[in-house]
Amino acid sequence: MKRRLFLSSALTCIMFFELQSTKSAGQTQTEPIQASPQTAEFITQTVITKARENETIKRAKLTYKRVYTVDNLNDNEQVTDRDKEEVVLIESGGREHLVEKNGKPVREGRSSSQRFDMIKVLEAMVKLDDFIIVKIEMVDNRPYYVINFKPRPGQRANGDIEDIIVRSEGVMYVDIEKFYIKRLSAWMTRPYSRGWGMFNLSRANIEMVLEEFGGIVVMKSLTIVDRYWALWRGDVFERQNYLYKDYQKKE
């Protein structure tokens, strides 16, 4: 633990030196920086550690709402109709209550489970991806590592999450002081099939945005645009959106 904290502090000092050198030249973001893939992977591992710690605090202290919508899209990515809308109340402790469905209040009922577990996805990415720090950029007057990621050649996937990761690449912004992801974008570069062709996923784009609330890192929004063909549904092109709001902190 002490070694990890020392490395984290040393890395932060180095990156801040880079940032201050560029700012003194009157620029708002650095030129591309030279950093090893091991450094970028270390940052991502630190993000995972911090995310686990943060999740425990968030679960214990926060109450908030999750609004989940599913919109069907046409070939121009325009919304044709809304397939689903759910409002879920998450109490401190993690208990969930579906309070509204398709615009109507609900007393009891099951909500759709979230299809994106950030920590599990990051763990799989560290296993399968290469990471490259391309620059440090200022966003809202705060410095962030900008890290590109893509699968290492020849990786074997185990399960749906890994099958999609080895077919995807993207970029994430990591807070240089607190090591949390501010924004992550990922997209598939080749299709995915399972069940002897009964399910074919041709697109899966993810946009995730986080923020701070009362010193705790929380999800702001998560958008998934996916297109697939399934034997039991036919062709589906949809946008799933998770919006998180009304955060309250238990002191």
Residue 58, pLDDT above cutoff 90: yes
Per-residue pLDDT tens for 29-46?
Answer: 555 566 777 899 999 999
Q: Is 170 exposed, middle or buried (0-12, 13-18, 19+ CB in 10 A)?
A: buried
On whether the CB atoms of residues 87 and 111 are closer than 8 A, the answer is: no
The whole-chain average pLDDT of the chain stands at 87
Q: DSSP assignment, residue 78?
A: -
On whether the CB atoms of residues 127 and 159 are closer than 8 A, the answer is: no
pLDDT at residue 111 in the model: 79
Secondary structure (3-state) at 194: strand
Q: Which residue has the tokens 């650095």?
A: 30
What pTM does this model have? 0.85
Confidence band of 175 (pLDDT split at 50, 70, 90) = very high
Strand-pairing partners, residue 85, are 69
Q: Which residue has the tokens 């994430």?
A: 172
